């Protein structure tokens, strides 16, 4: 892999960690364990039996809790303390030098990517949970699972495509959130004005 491809790999993995940290680590570990791909640098740690077992268990818990309206937002709030450091580690580990040295700069970039994707995910889920029916919550959660697995499957073969997908999703989520907040703000101003009249 070229340096540019490794950069795309590291940032995409960090973004996925902010979205689905346990699934990302578990998927990396499974791929390395079965020899489907050779994990670069310190990412080999993901294929440790301990890491595989814990991340697999937590991925299953997250899969279930993420489908329950309200519980998913509580889970997201608690996970910010783990997703951001996981993103920092994944980016720094993927971009580690030939001697295995990890860079603080890459860790900060990875943590930033994880925080951005986590904020978009948590904010979107808060908006979805405001809807009165559970179908939108379930559909959103399944969509997030599919996006995480699909991007993880792509990232090693086509890192630039995977990075383009996460950037497009981030921009799309941000635009939808901005549009909803803007509509709510207008509605609030309208109801406040009619309440005074």
Judged against a pLDDT cut of 60, whether residue 59 lies above it is answered with yes
User: Measured between alpha carbons, how far is 159 from 152 in angstroms, rounded to an integer?
Assistant: 9
Q: What is the pLDDT of residue 134?
A: 63
What are the tokens at 130? Answer: 């405001």
Q: Where are the domains positioned within the chain?
A: 3-196
Read off the pTM: 0.82
pLDDT tens-digit map of 160-176: 898 899 889 888 888 88
> Which residues lie below 8 Å from residue 38, measured CB to CB, with a gap of 6+?
32
Q: What is the pLDDT of residue 26?
A: 94
pLDDT tens-digit map of 15-54: 999 889 999 999 989 988 998 888 877 888 899 999 999 9
């Amino acid at each position: 892999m070229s340096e540019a491809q490794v950069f795309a790999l590291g940032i995409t993995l960090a973004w996925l960690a902010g979205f689905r940290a346990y699934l990302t680590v578990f998927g990396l570990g499974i791929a390395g364990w079965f020899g489907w791909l050779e994990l670069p640098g310190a990412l080999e740690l993901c294929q440790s039996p301990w890491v595989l077992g814990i991340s697999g268990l937590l991925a299953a818990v997250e899969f279930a809790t993420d489908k329950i309206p309200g519980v998913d937002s509580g889970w997201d709030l608690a996970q910010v303390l783990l997703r951001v450091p996981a993103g920092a580690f994944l980016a720094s580990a993927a971009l580690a030098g030939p001697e295995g040295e990890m860079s603080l700069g890459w860790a900060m970039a990875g943590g930033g990517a994880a925080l951005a994707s986590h904020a978009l995910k948590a904010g979107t889920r808060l908006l979805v949970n405001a809807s009165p029916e559970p179908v939108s919550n379930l559909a959103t959660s399944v969509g997030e699972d599919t996006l995480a697995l699909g991007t993880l499957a792509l990232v090693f073969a086509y890192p630039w495509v995977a990075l383009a997908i996460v950037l497009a999703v981030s921009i799309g989520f941000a635009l939808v959130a901005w549009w909803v907040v803007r509509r709510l703000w207008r509605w609030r101003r309208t109801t406040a004005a009619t309440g005074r009249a």
